[in-house]
Structure 1
Amino acid sequence: MASTAIELDVDGRAVRLSNPDKVYFPEHGYTKRDVAEYYLAVAPGALRGLRDRPTTLQRFPDGIEAEFFYQKRAPKSLPDWLPTARIAFPSGRTADEICPTEAAAVLWAVNLGCLTFHPWPVRRTDTEHPDELRIDLDPQPGTDFADAVRAAHELRAVLEEHGLRGWPKTSGGRGLHVYVPIVPEWTFADCRHAVIALGRELERRMPGKVTTNWWKEERGERIFVDYNQMARDRTIASPYSVRPRPEATVSAPLRWEELDQATPLDFTIRTMPARYAELGDLHADLPDHAFRLDPLLELADRQAADHGVGDLPYPPDHPKAEGEPPRVQPSRARKH
């Protein structure tokens, strides 16, 4: 049932929250106010993952059991204190997306029904060169979070052997994300090739456990390294984002040392505030680092020279790339 709007004080800026008692998560009765209070509790960490980044909003204005949509373009009702940046899609079209610079922007979006934030891996001052490498370890049917954790540990070793460091977090679902801050000198294509190289090295080290196969029919019961999450206009849930699951799980930054004991259900809008109050933002130091991508691109070159491997398929909405293999799933190709 609708209720009277309330006003939130977010670091001295007033943000209106309409219908605060509207239920968003029916299984537990969590309301819009509960979501807002969660984001207030973790605001510095949530903002750290969004600051100055063009951000798509995943909006659930009537809760997780109703229709939702992704809002890429900044709405006309955008407050004058919230900046935007123009980003270019693979089609060549452009859009002005919001770029949060203060915690009030997070709560302003929550008032619109946003649960999950999807920031680009770039800053508004340079939208063509990512400053984060994001590796998505996605469990396929027959595998689970524990399998993703094993792959993440091996990924950590690969990164360290190449002079890089990763920061892990839960996806809020079944998988894991690992972020690597990088110097913003390389293109989206370069970053995607770097993740492909990482995935292929994991395949070599963990045979039968990890895959880079784009086609689902070829992945098997393995952890899929979703390299296309580094393609232009592909984003993943930001740190501390609420996920549209019955338990109201959140994407939780972790220490490497706690991966083996963690489960996605440990981190919800009810449990994360106390954890955050005790530990703070475990990834607060991530923006203080910036690694070079050269070692991973050199790894990609060696893989190409030693094994004759090349590019992998892009998402279907991307223009055909030079050297890209056919975008036809193998079972269909065999019929023709």
Structure 2
Amino acid sequence: MDKKKEMVFNLNNFLLAFSELLNTKRSTYISVSIALKLKFTPEKISDICSYSLAFLLGKDALNNFDFLDKNNLNDKEFLNICEFSQKLINNFDFSKNSLNQKQKCIEFVRNENFDENIKNTFLEISNKLSFWLDLENENEIVLFIYSNLNDFTKVLTFEEILKMSSQFHYYQNPQSEILKRASLIADFFEFEHKDKQIFLIASSLQNIGKLNISKTILEKKEALNEEEKEILKSYSYHTKRVLNSIMGFSDICNLSLKVQERLDGSGSFSLDAKDLSFKDRLLICLVIYSALREKKAYRNSFSHSKAIEIMKNESKNNKIDKSIVEIFDKLFN
């Protein structure tokens, strides 16, 4: 393995990190349980786990992921199992199981127009009390998943990993240009290959924690109250929690989690200038600039000149690095 170009990577470890934010653990538990009962190969079980974990991103996005066998994405039974599992999650809250809900779920499966083989397999595995108890407990689901998957850890290039991480970014921000700008910055400062790729991956995931924030706050047109502001500020914490659980992502995590920090120590983690590297400061400024240039629910996008004006005022208040703002003014104009 060339550590300057590649890293060890496990797709299901990567996707499990995001599953709490996407709320896909329970649907994945159902999919994997059915796949095991149908005696899928270990490779196909691993792929159906990955597909279910990232199901909400959509098939087009999932075509960019490193499945063991891409042919599974065109396998009708494979896709039907994932769709079946997600439909159950959409209709029932398995975190609060009761006898009445179990009966309603089973009746729902019997009456809906599902594939007969999938339907009968589900009805068979749902006869076990442990099936329903596991569905209540997400920690048990994680243990179940890992205990039933073979280890298909492999070596991937940073570009291949960026291709996957960027799908989460565009899931949140379909019109975002932050990755384009991040690439321009890395080239301007002549980052080495590995440093550039880590900067790009961190840029793609720096606000993944916002998936943990209610859309009523993220898309609110009126001014946020103090409590809502505190909730919004917590997204960096959730970003840290997610990225810390991904094998080999420590450098990416350390860069991503600091985007709300400020030179005067007024950020989420109270880090100040001495704690922030040059790359930290670059990404902080990039996130601010990109946010100002994007249209929000409560305002239109700012022009380049207005965004730079706002950032220059922030630099005067010792929030961000003045020299970086000046470079952005020339680089993005």
Q: Same fold (TM over 0.5)?
A: no
* Alignment TM class, shorter chain as reference: under 0.3
More helix by proportion, 1 or 2? 2
Greater fraction of residues in strand: 1
TM-score (norm 2): 0.26
| Greater C-alpha Rg | 2
TM-score (norm 1): 0.26
